Structure 1
Amino acid sequence: MIAGPAAAPRLYDAGAVALALVAPAMALANRSSPLVIGIAALLFLAGAIAEQGGRAASLLIGPLRSPLGLAALAFLGWCLVSLAWSPFPALWGRVLSEFLPTLVAAAILARLAPGRLPSWAPPLGAGLLAAACLYMAGSLALGLAPQAWLGQRVALFMFNRPLLTVLLLAGPLAAFLALRGRRLAALLLLALAALAILRSISGAATLGLLAGAVMFGIGRFAPRAAALALAALILGLAFALAPVEGDLLHRLMPEAAHERLTQSSSRARVAIAQSFGAAVAQAPWIGSGYGMGLRFAEVPAAQALEPEMRAMLAVGHPHNTFLQIWSELGVVGAGLAALVAFLALRAAAALPRLLFATALGLTGAAVAVMFVEHGAWQGWWTAGCGAAITWLRAAACARPAGESAGERV
């Protein structure tokens, strides 16, 4: 049995394979990414321990002392503190048990994998991502016949989570390929990702694709300071407008728009946003407690609302991550989450031009999806974000040594 430093390369290779398998695993089982990310993180952690022994702990502890690390710890600490006023403590633990292990695994992977990935890992990840896109696009074109053959659930929305994962991963992997001189392969990967997303019924993925493309273009061609300011403004508005989103849409969204968005249940989404926004107004400072979305209609802040509004709170979450943070953690939680986001954006500002644009594209896509889709604490989304950040940081570590100074402008 191989032990000690000699085992590290094999463990890193196995971790790289696991990281590359995120997209195809999601295409086959649309909640599998937390498990895959967890395995990849454990393999890289084992490799780091085999290589450096006790010194490996400093690799993980060091970033926690940075402003971004301290802000993230403060946010998680506030989530834990909210147990003091959470009306359903068992639900609090249930939600945190899905989110926290995935977040820890994603953080370990994003810290340890960059610089330790073998040279064949990016092409493997890109190839498997392309295969997943072809599989999903082909399945949709065939009316989900492959899923029927495999005995899986036959429903068009079953690919929504995998395609949102593809949305996150495609940009960083394409940038990695482009930095290796494989620009045609990078463009082909992006084209296959766009094909699969546009072939699906996921409006959130389509919106994210559009937002990500626009922000990438701005990051690539606009002055860096202006692009960064715009990204910061978008993040700020996402947090600031979340509590009043429902009221704004109710007043400004024309009836014709609702008619065109019938399949997206736009009227119901507006009513849900209004209801959660009204609940935020009842407990604006500290919220109703982390993870209370599944029983939000029963929290104290909901009792002052009209019966029809309380009924809309029973959907489980407001389909807006920023609004969910406000409703569960109040202005304190929203402020800490915004601080984490702004500090992460500041870190992206130091990247070379292509990767800076890719980071802004990833931010634009993620913000767009988070404003209209899924609950804040779902493990599959956290895992996808962690994998995307890992590939982006790995690309930064592996950028060409002969990169010109002008590339960083």
Structure 2
Amino acid sequence: MPSDAPLPRRLGRLGALVLAALPLCMAAANRSSPLVVGLAGLLVLAAGLLEDRRATAAALLRPLATPAGLASLAFLAWCVLSLAWSPLPGLSLRTLSEFLPALAGAALVARLAPPRLASVARPALACLLAACAYVVADLAAGLVVQKVLGLRVAAFVFNRPVLTLMLLVIPLAAFLARGGRRGLALLALAACAAAAGRSASGAAVLGLAVAGVTYGLVRWLPARAGLALVGAGLLGALVLAPVEGDVLARTMPEALHQRLAASSTRARVAIARSFGAAVAADPWRGAGYGTSGRFEATPVAAALDPDMRVLLGVGHPHNSFLQVWAELGVVGASLAGIVLVLTLRALGRWPLPARAAALSLLAAGAAVAFVEHGAWQAWWTAGVGAAVAWLRATPHMTTA
């Protein structure tokens, strides 16, 4: 970085470099993404305010006035309003206090970082490849680095880093391909696939597979058909979430349970049935934002059959769509559906290569959210913001 560069430019580049380092930071500390993305967001915000306050404010506020932005604000308002009837207000506030800063950092980098990312594409690729290599090597060596550092020794400690890599590699590969660096794009995808395959995260493998299939279909199908296909998948996941457990309990063959024993599919089906029963018992407004952390203590849990209460204490239903239903009811689920539809409508105006990458990222994220983590986890929210920043950076890459 030239020492004589104007301060805003230096701050902006530093913010971009911090964001580029996210894969390595997550590999070293698997909850670090909110801190990394928040720091990057503050740096690019400072750079933007020093360069042009009015343009920076417009870049942040203008999207909120769009239909998708207004729907998103309505969804967040319903989340906050639900604290009024939450039986666990302390838990709800704590969850919100972790989610909102991560969301703010994600919004800052997604809106302000893209024009600055083209200059750090190579460092970002190097960090991603190094993180993938570290995950593969340490797992192959029996987590020797974790042991030496006195950290937790379990294969799943790399699940969050690998899922973050899965989010980032999709737009980063599209970014590199747009600049004529298809070989590097393929290298990034191959490295991430190797790390996901070696890790204990079946969700990351699922996300990459869904992204690949979605990308191929969107590139091959007419524009409206591609959008309709992704939209049907997303809305189907949302609408069917409350009955997921019952459907799987009736249709999932025993042989498949045995084949997927490492993924604890029987427990996941039972958890989904329990939370689905809670939704059926209180479908309209839900138990309140953030209550999944101790859902067994909610009034709706007390109204269920005893055999349905046991697994409500697992922390979350391992399905973000189902969690929205359980905590925010049909109103929250409807608002979430509106946000998804309006987002897809906005993506329909993007040129084909960028639209294919965006829909692939959206489908991959939804696939992971359907089988994996809690809806409000800060590390995931921050990772999504970083991925969106790289996705929106594509127009700033000149063709080589």
1:56 counterpart = 2:56: yes
| CA distance in 1 between partners of 2:393 and 2:55 (Å) | 21
Greater Cα shift, 57-66 or 210-219: 57-66
Q: TM-score, normalised by structure 2?
A: 0.96
Give the corresponding residue for 2:323. 324
Alignment of 1:223-262 (within 5 A): 223-262=222-261
Deviation, 1:57, is 2.1
Deviation, 1:55, is 5.0
| CA distance in 2 between partners of 1:270 and 1:144 (Å) | 31
| CA distance in 2 between partners of 1:345 and 1:23 (Å) | 28
Secondary structure class of the residue paired with 1:241? helix
Greater Cα shift, 372-381 or 254-263: 254-263
Give the corresponding residue for 1:314. 313
The answer (yes or no) to whether the contact 1:285–1:331 under 8 Å persists in 2 is yes
Deviation, 1:397, is 3.7
Letter in 2 for 1:77: A
| CA distance in 2 between partners of 1:309 and 1:128 (Å) | 45
Question: Quick one: percent identity of the two aligned structures?
Answer: 56
Letter in 2 for 1:132: A
1:381 counterpart = 2:380: yes
Letter in 2 for 1:51: E
| CA distance in 2 between partners of 1:218 and 1:46 (Å) | 40
Deviation, 1:347, is 2.1
Give the corresponding residue for 1:122. 121
Deviation, 1:294, is 1.1
| CA distance in 2 between partners of 1:295 and 1:149 (Å) | 35
Deviation, 1:100, is 0.6
Give the corresponding residue for 2:80. 80
Instruction: Supply the RMSD in Å over aligned alpha carbons.
Output: 1.4
The answer (yes or no) to whether the contact 1:351–1:396 under 8 Å persists in 2 is no
1:358 counterpart = 2:357: yes
**What is the count of residue pairs matched by the alignment?**
396
Which whole-Å deviations, capped at 9, do the CAs of 1:131-188 have from their partners, x for residues lacking one? 1001101111111112222322211000000000011000110111111111111111
1:301 counterpart = 2:287: no
Give the corresponding residue for 1:277. 276
Which whole-Å deviations, capped at 9, do the CAs of 1:228-282 have from their partners, x for residues lacking one? 1100000110100000000000000011111111111111111110000000011
Letter in 2 for 1:11: L
1:109 counterpart = 2:109: yes
Which whole-Å deviations, capped at 9, do the CAs of 1:176-221 have from their partners, x for residues lacking one? 1111111111111110011110111111111111111110111122
1:155 counterpart = 2:154: yes
Give the corresponding residue for 2:213. 214
Which whole-Å deviations, capped at 9, do the CAs of 1:64-92 have from their partners, x for residues lacking one? 11111111110100001001110111111
| CA distance in 1 between partners of 2:213 and 2:54 (Å) | 45
Deviation, 1:308, is 1.9
Secondary structure class of the residue paired with 2:150? coil
Which whole-Å deviations, capped at 9, do the CAs of 1:11-47 have from their partners, x for residues lacking one? 1011001110111100000000000000000000000
Q: TM-score, normalised by structure 1?
A: 0.94
Greater Cα shift, 36-45 or 260-269: 260-269
The answer (yes or no) to whether the contact 2:56–2:112 under 8 Å persists in 1 is no
Greater Cα shift, 103-112 or 32-41: 103-112
| CA distance in 2 between partners of 1:139 and 1:313 (Å) | 34
Letter in 1 for 2:20: A
Deviation, 1:7, is 1.5
Deviation, 1:54, is 5.1
Letter in 2 for 1:38: G
Residues 342 and 308 of structure 1, relative CA distance in 2, 3 Å threshold: same
Secondary structure class of the residue paired with 1:116? helix
Gaps of 5+ in 1: 403-409
| CA distance in 1 between partners of 2:17 and 2:55 (Å) | 25
| CA distance in 2 between partners of 1:241 and 1:28 (Å) | 37
The answer (yes or no) to whether the contact 1:123–1:177 under 8 Å persists in 2 is no
Letter in 1 for 2:135: M
Give the corresponding residue for 2:30. 30
Letter in 2 for 1:96: L
Letter in 1 for 2:343: A
Deviation, 1:311, is 1.1
Give the corresponding residue for 2:16. 16
The answer (yes or no) to whether the contact 1:95–1:291 under 8 Å persists in 2 is yes
